[in-house]
Structure 1
Amino acid sequence: MSKLTLVVPTLNAAGYISQFVGGLNRQVRQPDRVIILDSASTDGSPQLWREQGLEVVSIPRGTFDHGGTRNLGARLAGEGICCFLTQDAVMASPQTLAALIEPLEKGQAAATFGRQLPRPEASPAERYARYFQYRAASECRSAQDVPGLGVRAYRFTNVCSAVRLEKFWAVGGFPERIILNEDMLLVARLFAAGERVCYVGAAEVLHSHDYTLKQQFQRHFDIGASFADAAELLRGARVGGEGVRFAVGQMGYLVRLGEWRQVPAAVGDLGARMLGFQLGRRHQALPTPLKKKLSMHSYHWDQKEQR
């Protein structure tokens, strides 16, 4: 049985700790070590994590980086399997961790990721987004699937993921100093090395966000920017067809539920996603002060200018 380390980057997570730890304590496969990587929280959450018996490693907030911070956690883990979760992901089944790492222990994949289920309070539009992206059926993918699947072949999320550390480090780990999508770019690196990645439908976590139109725009601006900056690595990751399928499916879902009043908001949400993504893909033509206003992760542009 492989050593299993759970790494959780956190920031002001006090409101999530009870549910997170409850889901963790129910797991039939318990991690050998849990590392909370806290970015100088000010809500007392580091002490709350410690009171739950968990190890807390503090880092300066200005040094947080989606890829770099998780690479730090992987280095601290040392060997075996490293599982990454976000602070707001609640393991929904006692089998979540066991299911997530099973393909890794069997040598079927270098990395895995789990299924995100909507929280009970999620809006109908957000529920559809989770169901569209995270189906019940598991599947494994490799570079051979890119021509047929496009961007779906690279889908991966660090909301709930796991890697075999020797394979993870063989490709350099997560890319660092990028605005977003460090998880998807790890898949691209693994595919280039001939590795496989598995989606595990039985590894379920509760995780959803009802973003405002502004937040949805900003998030997708960052996604578009990450696609632009990683165009060479994400060769074949066409996205147009996926967006159309999502839009048509979401409208049909709301109509079938009789949620007609949700349709205008859903149309606005789709518009914010599309506009943000297309502007993000063209971010190189925009001045840095404007990019900071359009971005959800505005600190990235300061860091980029400093490099």
Structure 2
Amino acid sequence: MRLALIIPTRNASAHLDRLLPALAAQTRQPDSILVLDSESSDDTVARFRAFGARVEVIRVAQFNHGGTRRLGCQLVEAEALLFLTQDAIPAAPDSFARLLANLTLEADIGVAYGRQLPHPDAGLLAAQARQFNYPSQSRTKRMSDADELGIKTCFSSDSFAVYRRDLLEAVGGFPSNVIGSEDAYVAGRMLLAGYAVRYAADACVEHSHDYRLVEEFRRYFDIGVFYGRERWLRNTFGKAEGEGQRFVRAEINALRAVGAIARVPEVLLRSTLKLLGYRLGYLERYLPRQMKRRLSMFPGYWK
């Protein structure tokens, strides 16, 4: 099975000292590497080209989480499409090999996404978020799991994920215009079409974010926009709010475990901002465009 690696980038230079050696060390090398760069002002393009990757530069205004990945699929020829973000660093030489093995484990698996570990310098809450969303046990998810897992059934992350091209195309591919969560969109379509989503806990990358309070608010505004526009996901798999309550409890328990209970007010404030951002995003159709540009992490989306 031919494997194409597709990496969207913008000013990725700070990550390349770790990322490029990790790519070179993979025991399963991709048959091709495509970098879709959004007009980087640093040396991202030059370094990837020197590494041997094909680099296509697109205008910043043309970038879209779904549309850019859709373009990437059209520019490569391979049966397996591996997506990686610029700040997701393969944690072991066999990360790609293990992820691909999970994709081919059963005939109906359309996408396999890997485990995300915190970066070495990640803060406590960032590390806890990785542990909550990416447990140590692998699992194959199908529509029959929706009653148990709810919205987590269609949870997936193309920060590190590999898709079977034929099944991706069978469900219409990546959406051409979404603000984010294109991975959940595709996973939901695959599940509804009778395909499976595989979580591969043995295929790992280091990938985490220490978001500031304002960044957290904006991120959840965008998530709310997505679910407000793609209401079929909520109608099919359930609301995201219940999962958020579980997440808050897990954060508080993590603080207690290390004697950092004094940070609980921070968790509560952060959670309040997330909820506020999500609900504003969900109701964005009532907001003026200029306000949405100011609230979003991706103001360029609101053309």
Q: What TM bracket, shorter-length normalisation?
A: over 0.9
Match of 1:237 in 2: 238
Match of 1:298 in 2: 299
Deviations 1:268-305 (CA, angstroms, capped at 9, x unpaired): 22222111111111111111111111111111111xxx
For structure 1, the residue ranges without an aligned partner over 5 or more in a row are: 303-307
The residue type paired with residue 19 of structure 1 is: R
Q: What SS is found at the alignment partner of 2:195?
A: coil
Equivalent runs, 1:27-176 vs 2, <5 Å: 27-106=26-105, 107-176=107-176
Per-residue deviation at 1:148? 2.1
Is it true that 1:199 corresponds to 2:199 in the alignment? yes
Give the Cα–Cα distance (whole angstroms) in 2 for the partners of residues 22 and 261 of structure 1: 40
Question: How many equivalent pairs are there?
Answer: 301
CA distance in 2, matches of 1:172, 1:112: 18
Query: How far apart, CA to CA, are the structure 2 residues paired with 1:110 and 1:133?
Result: 20
2:71 and 2:184 map into 1 onto residues whose CA distance is 18
Equivalent residue letter for 1:280: G
TM-score w.r.t. structure 1 length? 0.95
Tell me the residue number matched to 2:272. Answer: 271
| DSSP-derived class of the 2:67 partner | helix
Q: Distance in 2 between matches of 1:261 and 1:177?
A: 42
Structure 1 stretches of at least 4 aligned residues deviating more than 3 Å after TM superposition: none
Q: Using the alignment, how far apart are the partners of 1:80 and 1:161 within structure 2? A: 14
Deviation at 1:144, TM superposition (A): 1.6
Partner Cα separation in structure 1 for residue 270 and residue 116 of structure 2: 20
The one-letter code matched in structure 2 to 1:236 is F
**Following the alignment from structure 2 to structure 1, what is the Cα–Cα distance between the partners of residues 42 and 275?**
35
Equivalent pair of 1:36/1:57 in contact (CA under 8 Å): yes
AA aligned to 2:26 is Q
Query: Residues 133-174 of structure 1, C-alpha deviation per residue, up to 9 Å, x if partnerless?
Result: 000100011112122211100100111001010111111111
Partner of 2:20: 21
Other structure's SS at 1:110 match? strand
CA distance in 1, matches of 2:196, 2:99: 14
In structure 1, the partner of 2:221 is 221
| Equivalent residue number for residue 12 of structure 1 | 11
State the 1:264 CA deviation.
2.9
**Given the two structures, how large is their TM-score scaled by the length of structure 2?**
0.96
**Alignment of 1:280 onto 2:293:** no
CA–CA distance in structure 1, aligned partners of residues 71 and 55 of structure 2: 13
Most deviating of 69-78 and 223-232: 69-78
C-alpha separation between the residues in 2 aligned to 1:95 and 1:181? 27
Q: Is the 8 A contact 2:111 2:198 kept in 1?
A: yes
What per-residue deviation string (whole Å, max 9, x for no partner) do you get for residues 191-226 of structure 1?
A: 121100100001101011111100000000000110
Structure 1 residue 261 displacement after superposition: 3.9
- Mapped to 2, the partners of 1:92 and 1:14 lie a distance apart of 19
Identity of aligned residues (%): 35
Is contact 2:293–2:299 with CA below 8 Å preserved after alignment? yes
CA distance in 1, matches of 2:108, 2:20: 29
